[in-house]
Amino acid sequence: MNEKTFGKGCRVLILGATSGIAKSLAREFARHGFDLVLAGRDMDEMQTIAADARVRYGTKSEIVPFSATDFESHPEFWKSCGALDGVLCCFGVMHTQNEAENDWQKAYAMIEVNYSASVSILNIAANEFEARGRGFIAILSSVAGDRGRRSNYIYGSTKAAVSTYAEGLRARLFASGVSMTTIKPGPVDTAMSFGLDKLPLLASPEKVAADIYRGVRRKADVVYTPAPWRFIMAILCAVPSFLWKRAKL
């Protein structure tokens, strides 16, 4: 896909289409002429999102059932989506650090959904796009994956794994012309962050979606959103370990 064809008539698959960020992404990409393939578990909610995109922007929108952790179903799911120009991977789970420390099932759920499921479905997408020599992939990681903090290191470790996977995949796909963009939001005002205290630079999902669209369009390697997080995380990553382990973050 080149710059002239990025938009009207292109089909983008949104995985985890009912998340707060994904719903804003659906509107953002539809606004720029993309046809939507919405994938997730809540068929009723996806039907509402699809209908909204059709009414607002006149875009073609369809829904497909998708279970992130049903790995064996992923090849057939991919075939059911038809020809695609891009994939936005938006599904994820976040439990609190205390929950993950004391309940292995909650820790494992984050590992399985955030990392294992992403690798499973994106391996399939990458193979097809690489063979065709075009396409784009974007995945939601997090600033939480840039450095381990005592307050959320289990969740953060799953996002660090996602970022490392995406970096390697990006290097592999580069020669084929397929772009791989890692999205690193800070806290976003969605259901996932509801009830959490002291969230700095809390961003709206609409702002994040607009940043993601611009980043994917210009084939950015990594998108921090809002943008100040790039500089904040650069500073935090430079803090020496002997000081970092004493920080109450």
Active site residues: 155
- From the centroid of its chain, how far is CA 49? 18
Residues in Cβ contact with 144 at an 8 Å cutoff, skipping those fewer than 6 apart: 152, 155, 156, 159
Beta-strand (E) ranges in the chain? 11-15, 35-40, 61-65, 86-89, 136-140, 179-185, 222-225
Rounded Cα distance, 127 and 166, in Å = 14
- Looking up tokens 């979606």 gives 209
Two tokens at 209?
A: 């979606």
Residues in Cβ contact with 122 at an 8 Å cutoff, skipping those fewer than 6 apart: 87, 89, 137, 139, 165, 169
Closest CA to 169 of 144, 137, 143: 137
Residues in Cβ contact with 103 at an 8 Å cutoff, skipping those fewer than 6 apart: 95
